[in-house]
């Protein structure tokens, strides 16, 4: 397990995103809070953070491209090997395959897994996603069409879904 994470911040629109990587890839993406802190330590306790703009530059660039509608898939490495349980990581692997501009239900994710568990277990794994946007958990909604939870809140989830829908037919 990696003891050192490298990080940088990027402001896009009204939000400042905090990104952290290991030597293997992106481990965390989230928003900085009003008090200029980040909840990364809730995901990865006892890690040392080192600011490294150069190391994070490809991640920052791809996030900017995503919000500008120029990127539909991230091709930077992601490293969630230190996160959660094997089941939770398998859920996020399936979530990562949901196409740009599409939404699927938590139940769809549950039934697509070989070791299918309850929809509740899938929803919990999705809620704990440490690499939001890069692993597009905002594309996972409830079976009744309602948004469901999202670490950044329902307004941000809807914003991301609408962003993708607005660009889905552009440059196809």
CATH number at residue 165: 1.10.10.10
Residue 71 has pLDDT above 80, yes or no: yes
What's the predicted TM-score (pTM) here? 0.92
Closest CA to 4 of 63, 60, 79: 79
Are β-strands 4-12 and 15-21 bridged in parallel, bridged antiparallel, or unpaired? Answer: antiparallel
Q: Cβ-count burial of 66 within 10 angstroms (0-12 exposed, 13-18 middle, 19+ buried)? A: buried
Confidence band of 39 (pLDDT split at 50, 70, 90): confident
Please report the sign of the dihedral spanned by the C-alpha atoms of residue 83, residue 88, residue 91, residue 95. negative
Instruction: Report pLDDT digits (tens) over 112-169.
Output: 887 666 888 999 999 999 999 999 999 999 999 999 889 888 999 999 999 999 988 7
pLDDT of residue 117: 64
Share of the chain above pLDDT 90, in %: 76
Print the domain residue range for 78.
Answer: 1-172
Q: What is the pLDDT of residue 33?
A: 75
Q: Is-contact 51 19, C-beta < 8 A?
A: no
Number of folded domains that form the chain: 1
The answer on pLDDT for 36 being more than 90 is no
Q: pLDDT per residue over 88-119, tens digit each?
A: 999 999 999 999 999 999 999 999 887 666 88
Q: Which among 127, 125, 132, 128 has a CA at the least distance from the CA of 29?
A: 132
């Amino acid at each position: 397990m990696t003891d050192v994470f490298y990080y940088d911040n990027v402001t896009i629109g009204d939000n400042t995103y905090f990104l952290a990587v290991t030597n293997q890839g992106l481990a965390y993406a989230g928003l900085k809070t009003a008090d200029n802190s980040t909840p990364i330590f809730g995901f990865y306790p006892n890690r040392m953070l080192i600011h490294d703009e150069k190391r994070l530059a490809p991640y920052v660039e791809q996030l900017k491209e995503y919000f500008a509608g120029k990127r539909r898939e991230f091709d930077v490495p992601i490293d969630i090997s230190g996160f959660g349980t094997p089941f939770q990581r398998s859920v996020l692997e399936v979530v990562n395959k949901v196409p740009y501009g599409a939404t699927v239900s938590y139940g769809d994710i549950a039934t697509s897994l070989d070791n299918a568990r309850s929809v509740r277990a899938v929803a919990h794994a999705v809620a704990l996603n440490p690499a939001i946007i890069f692993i597009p958990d905002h594309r996972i909604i409830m079976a009744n069409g309602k948004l469901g939870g999202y670490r950044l809140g329902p307004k941000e989830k809807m914003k991301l879904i609408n962003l993708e829908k607005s660009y889905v037919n552009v440059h196809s």
